[in-house]
Homo-oligomer: A and B are copies of this chain.
Amino acid sequence: MSEYQELHRRFDRHYLLRSSADLLEWDAQAMMPEGGGDLRAAQLGTLRVLAHEAISAPDLPDLLAAAEAAPPAGAWERANLAAMRRAWVHAAAVPADLVEARARVTSGCELAWRTARREDDFASLLPQLEEVVNLTRRVGEAKAAVMGLSVYDALADEYEPGAREAALVPLFARLERELPPLVDAIVARQASAPPVPALVGPFAVDRQAALGRHLAERMGFDFARGRLDVSVHPFCGGAAEDVRMTTRYDEGDFLSSVLGVVHETGHALYEMGLPRAWARQPVGHVPGMGLHESQSLLMEMQAARTPELLGYLAVVASAHLGVALQRESLERHALKVARSLVRVDADEATYPLHVIVRFSLERALVAGDLAVRDLPGAFRDGMERVVGVRPPTDREGCLQDVHWPSGAFGYFPSYTLGAIAAAQLFAAALVAHPAIPAELAEGDFTSLRRFAHEHVHQHGARYDTNGVLERATGRGLDADVLLAHLRRRYLG
């Protein structure tokens, strides 16, 4: 067996352990009763350590070096070898006991967050969140030392390979400068329009669920290879051949749940479209979370908010919910721009402002410049300064997101990188397939999905995010395209 083949075997085993843990995490969010929390935290700790050990054994450096000295012939194999090295750098930098402690503590903290959020009780979360921040900082320090990066960059690199503060800071500074006047102009314009009639509920949960399922199927979600369930914080997990996406329902507001399903289905189509032959190898996965997010936003923000798709939605939503909905009314609701409290419900124009607040706070937390106990106040101040609204509670403030309790620091920028990439990809798709708007008017996603599959999904991690974008759109990540899209859709 060649060194490369031996590495292939190790990473296969790593994937089987990691995907087992992912399934247990999906279960913890979507299925598990409260009593299972302690056991689940211990199970995840064990599985994460074993997955870590599989690709950080002492002989890995020699295997990698030998394989790189005599690289395999195929382009996929060579890209896989590069992805293996990247994964090894992240894994080997962190000692096993730290991996286990972090998995255990974040699993417990995430569970505590559920209760703390429901009861608006930050104090109850504080001790565990402090522990999570401390352990995450130690992980970041260990990686930073090996990778020659700042602690924050070392953490963010796990989600977004190549993402660096040096580039993110000016990008977000520009958005923080340009978006508020844009938002002001949109808000003023929308205020001058006649008031939007409310979408009168209640909309029964089972009917909303059937509507969401219908849309997911129209988009190409294969229910023989995935599920749609309910969780507090919607997400898309599982594996390519068994995708587990979740949503949440509000009887008073079907639009948010439906568009949430469209969002998660965008993620799911990416997973389902990854190269099957490489499903258990690093090159078979996504090159970064920003590109993953681009696929959800391509569907949710770019496609689903076109007049064409909203027209289709008005018809099928009316049929499923048993009410008479007009496209114009849906459009006014779906395109409403407002400075609001909750990130996941934010419109596309203010969403980056929510990210900016978090990007700034998580850097301060990781650096130790902000104590965890001071987070609630700092979060309110940040929201007031950047987004323009002050959360009256922590539930609507720093407790709204699962990311930090679950140990994900450095993840938030991916949402905005994804929004930019989505704008670029949709523009390119419209050029390549001019029939897309007419298809969307019929609820037909064929050409858009084909474009996404051809230019993004099927490549796995063979190219990095910028490489994918350059091949698909002719240029790397470019905030101009997002800003132009916003001006055109809302002011043009």
Distance in Å: Cβ of A373 to nearest Cβ of chain B: 30
Flag whether A36 is at the interface (Cβ < 8 A). yes
Main secondary structure of the interface of A (DSSP, over half): helix
Asked if A36 contacts B239 (CB within 8 A), the reply is yes
What does the 1/0 interface line of A45-89 toward B look like (CB < 8 Å)?
011001000000000000000000000000000000000000000
A33/B239 in contact, CB under 8 A: no
Closest to A34 in B: B224
Question: B35, A224: Cβ atoms under 8 Å?
Answer: yes
Is A38 in contact with B227, judged by CB distance below 8 angstroms? no
Known A-B contacts A35-B222, A224-B34, A224-B35; the reply to A42 vs B16 at CB < 8 A is: yes
- Chain B residues within 8 Å of A35, by CB: 222, 224-226, 241-242
- With A31-B31, A227-B31 known as contacts, the answer to whether A242 contacts B36 (CB < 8 A) is yes
One of A17-25, A192-200, A258-266 at the interface: A17-25
CA of A450 to CA of B368, assembled, Å: 53
A39 at the interface (CB under 8 A from B): yes
Chain B min CB distance to A31 (Å): 7
Instruction: Tell me which of B33, B40, B223 contacts A225 (CB under 8 A).
Output: B33
Q: Does A3 contact B (CB under 8 A)?
A: no
Q: Of all chain B residues, which has the CB nearest A50?
A: B50
Q: Is A401 an interface residue (CB 8 A)?
A: no
A 214-228 contacts with B by CB, 8 A: 222-227
**Which residues of chain B have C-beta atoms less than 8 A from A435's C-beta?**
none
| Copies of this protein in the complex | 2
CB-CB < 8 A to A239: which residues of B?
Answer: 36, 39
Chain B residues positioned under 8 Å from A31 (CB to CB): 31, 227
Residues of B within 8 A of A241 (CB): 35-36, 38-39
Q: With A and B bound together, what is the CA distance between A466 and B227 in angstroms?
A: 45
A32 within 8 A of partner (CB): yes
Interface pair A20/B24, CB less than 8 Å apart: yes
Q: Please state if B34 and A20 are interface contacts (CB–CB under 8 Å).
A: no
Bound-state Cα–Cα, A27 to B50, Å: 21
CB <8 Å contact, A242 and B33: yes
A214 to chain B, nearest CB (A): 18
Q: Would you call B39 and A19 a contact (CB within 8 A)?
A: yes
A-B contact pairs, 28 of them (CB 8 A): A13-B46, A16-B42, A16-B43, A17-B46, A19-B39, A20-B24, A20-B43, A20-B46, A20-B47, A24-B24, A27-B27, A31-B31, A31-B227, A33-B223, A33-B225, A33-B227, A33-B242, A34-B224, A34-B225, A35-B224, A35-B225, A35-B226, A35-B242, A36-B241, A36-B242, A38-B241, A39-B241, A50-B50
